[in-house]
């Protein structure tokens, strides 16, 4: 079955996305034009807003689980709303990609947020230290 949805994340920097992926055992493959999913839309889940059935499975880049060539992938596609950046499309019916991304892609969203914040802090001349908290959150300590 096809369950293609978007991941609620504002991706504006592919370098940050690549590093965020690497942090959690994924890899960004630049210029990969398709991503693995069920392979056809069967009408059991709504198509993401701004996309058509023909768009599903197509992308500018893809995210894959390192070491698992059979796992579904995430498609990195240009946003359809005219704003800069990318939308992430994925078929969450494959447990391997769900496990790698975390519940509702939470691991990827957290990793991207941390990586983006660190990159911005360094650009502004801060030293950034990451502290993992007992509850799974991450605290960034910035000093000049």
Q: Tell me: the pLDDT tens digits for 90-137?
A: 999 999 999 999 989 999 999 999 999 999 999 999 999 999 999 988
Q: Cβ atoms within 10 A of the Cβ of 63, count?
A: 26
Long-range CB pairs of 12-17 (<8 Å, 24+ gap) are 12/84, 12/85, 12/86, 13/116, 13/119, 14/61, 14/76, 14/86, 15/119, 16/112, 16/115, 16/116, 16/119, 17/63, 17/76, 17/86, 17/112
pTM (two decimals): 0.92
């Amino acid at each position: 079955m096809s369950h293609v949805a978007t991941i609620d994340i504002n991706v504006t920097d592919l370098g940050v996305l690549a590093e965020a992926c690497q942090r959690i055992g994924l890899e960004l493959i630049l210029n990969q034009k398709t991503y693995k999913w069920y392979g056809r839309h069967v009408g059991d889940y709504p198509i993401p807003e701004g996309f058509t059935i023909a768009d599903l499975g197509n992308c500018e880049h893809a995210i894959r689980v390192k070491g698992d060539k059979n796992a579904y992938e995430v498609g990195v596609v240009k946003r359809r709303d005219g704003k800069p950046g990318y939308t992430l499309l994925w078929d969450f019916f494959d447990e391997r990609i769900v496990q790698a991304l975390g519940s509702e892609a939470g691991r990827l969203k957290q990793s991207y947020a941390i990586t983006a914040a660190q990159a911005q802090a360094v650009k502004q001349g801060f030293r950034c230290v990451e502290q993992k908290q007992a509850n799974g959150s991450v605290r960034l300590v910035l000093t000049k």
